[in-house]
Chains A and B, each alone.
Chain A
Amino acid sequence: MIAFHAPEQETSRFRHRVVAGGAFALVCFMLLAARFYYLQVRQFEYYHTRAEDNRIALLPIVPNRGMIVDRNGVVLARNYAAYTLEITPARTNGLEQTIDALSEVLTIDARDRRRFRKLLEESRSFESVPIRNRLSDEEVARFIAQRYRFPGVDVQARLFRDYPLGASASHVVGYIGRINQRDLERIDEGEDAANYRGSDYIGKSGLELSYETELHGKTGFEQVEVNAGGRAVRRLSSTPAVTGSDLELTLDMELQKIAETAFGNRRGALVAIEPTTGGVLALVSTPTFDPNLFVDGISTQDWKELNDSPDHPLLNRAIYSAYPPGSTFKPFMGLAGLTTGKRTAAQTIADPGYFNFAGHRFMDDKVGGHGVVDLHKSIVVSCNTYYYQLANDLGIDGIANFMAQFGLGARTGLDLPGEAEGVLPSPAWKKKRFRRPEQQRWFGGETISVGIGQGYNAYTPLQMANAVAALVNDGKVFRPHVVRYVVDTRTGNKRMIEPEPVRQIALKPEHVAAVRRAMVEVNKSGTGARAFAGAPYEVGGKTGTAQVYSLKGSRYVEGQVRERLRDHSWFIAYAPADNPKIALAVLVENGGFGSQSAAPIARQVIDYHLLGKRPNQPAPEDADAVESSD
């Protein structure tokens, strides 16, 4: 078909083919050149970024967490360095086999395994999860020697949170724990997400939670060049981490411990406040718990023990549990009577031992009554009838409006998480609280009960202590606070948490003086006299007994032993009487009369605070204490 006969023709045909071949090659090379132009010029920015992303990794530098110390420098929370054995599940050849093989080299007990499993569920994917904490040097050496057998397992030096005082003040300090899914979501929502890259722990309760931002510090970043294997080969730049701030508390740990000891093994709460600043001197809730249990992830068994205990050790009674104030309400009621002009200090009533209202007879504790009673006597002997009448005269709205000024029935704004509101009852409150119309109606008889601190009334020990502080501070209400200084660890600068006045209640000095005189007399000849017998200082106070009945305190009643049906014992106090340095509220659950268990605790606390006197045993229960009312 194609045949070349003449050499000339053949050569020319061949040269055409060569030109065609050359042209093809040229076109192909132009295609390549166009491709290079596209990649290296048009798409340069994109590939440049890709290459930089390839090579540069940002590694977080986790800051050291700030310390927590009390007002005298006693350490409540600190860090220590220790070795942990950590497993990255994704990199092991079978998690179970790895753990089994590890347990031949190191002791890994059932508790470690359980905790590991729990942490595994909570942790972020591809994270290393600790299986053993606090390895000894010898254990570290033993593992390192056999490390080649365990891919995905490594020893890490880490800082651990330590609460050297253990269970003491644990409700204040709180604890940190490993960041779980819920924390993550919260962090991701906030603006601080970048700050938690690399952090394993976060505050879960107490100050560790409420001052998380200050304590955590600022995460530093190291820009490193990494190779394809992900190994850092060169440091490009770094921003050092900023250690978290230290917290210096208003708390006096000696006082705190004395208060805790005073409770013995009774359940209850105590809040002591410096009236002129709102600084909390002691905040006790018993029983308490050891926050160290939570740091490495609490074991199921420990958690069960704490959570299922009928004593609810995790509950911060001082700020979360609200109790009817009982007769500790009376000084405030008295002041309300004077301030509103419904009573004068000298005005008297004749107490027959009861008060009739709407066909119901409200009884006084003392059969036959206290006779002629004025304001002073009504507080000293805790006369119910006086307050039945006063409550009726003030009306429920009058009471509610006056008491609200002292912060009762509202969160005080303490710098700890989880404060309860309590209940300052009023028709408006009842409307909000109940759904059915017949329940929403306010009855006049309910006002009478409220007058003596029973009924729907329920306040936290913190609210009561803060109300006492306001009373003795001429009506100046502070926002209570536990932290006094936030200390920048780099500069040593102390940022003071200023006393923050919330409001000034309009009170006449002579009215306050009259009530305070009566409260001092309580501890001389009244219901607190036995507890404060022989005290070398003057102290104002008031006992109270919160009735435990099923309406509100159901959790303490249902199917419980008889002991849990006893009334709660209250005591509020301030000292010294003329220039108070401490205002406090004590509550002992099922402690009976206020004078019986709460007042002796207050005595020990005030003795130490004013005199430096240390008791050598828990406050005694005064079995002989006789209470007229409360």
Chain B
Amino acid sequence: MSILVLEAVTRTHGSGDGQVEALKHLSLTVAPGELVAVMGPSGSGKSTLLHLAGGLDQPTSGRVLVEGTELGNLSRKALAQLRRRWIGYVFQDFNLIPALTAAENVALPRELDGVPARKARKEAVAALAEVGVPELADRFPDDMSGGQQQRIAIARALVGERRLVLADEPTGALDSTTGEAVMALLRARVDAGAAGVLVTHDARHAAWANRVVFLRDGRVVDESVYRAPEDVLAP
């Protein structure tokens, strides 16, 4: 089953003459093990897509389903719970809480979700091991490099049962090799069974995705899908 489904989603801002269609009848599904990159010029609808997928915004028409649940039918409380439980975010500026250690940052969404502190901590430590930085568990964000902070953010995005990671320019604040290591990590976590949507301007990072979707004026204009590996580098 697809983890994320966008079905004929349209999002209109404003009304009358000032009406802007940020997304027009857009459909997209993301299955476990799949990373989809979304590219397009500023104002093409990339951020709107990510907000809708994350339940931070509602479509004007069409449906958004996460893990089979339609977001539009949920109460505010139920939506907040679903977001905490299933959806992880990764931002350009990491968004870790400076007063909490790495493990506490990762455990926080689980604790908010009612998981007992001890279990949440255990899950957090496991998630940190999965992103290759178990030794950072008790460090504070200020004592870490940008690349390390982004690893923590990816651990937080995929802690516990969370399987959908929405990443908004996750490599924007990182140098090229660190950015690449973060993309390799995101790819590996997705390969391990998560689903990811990545918004980026950077073709080099979008290339880690299974599919690259090009948006223009709220519509998908084109898509690039992996070819069979034997065709690679063929003359």
- Do A and B truly interact? no
Q: Which residues on B are within 8 Å of A, measured CB to CB?
A: none
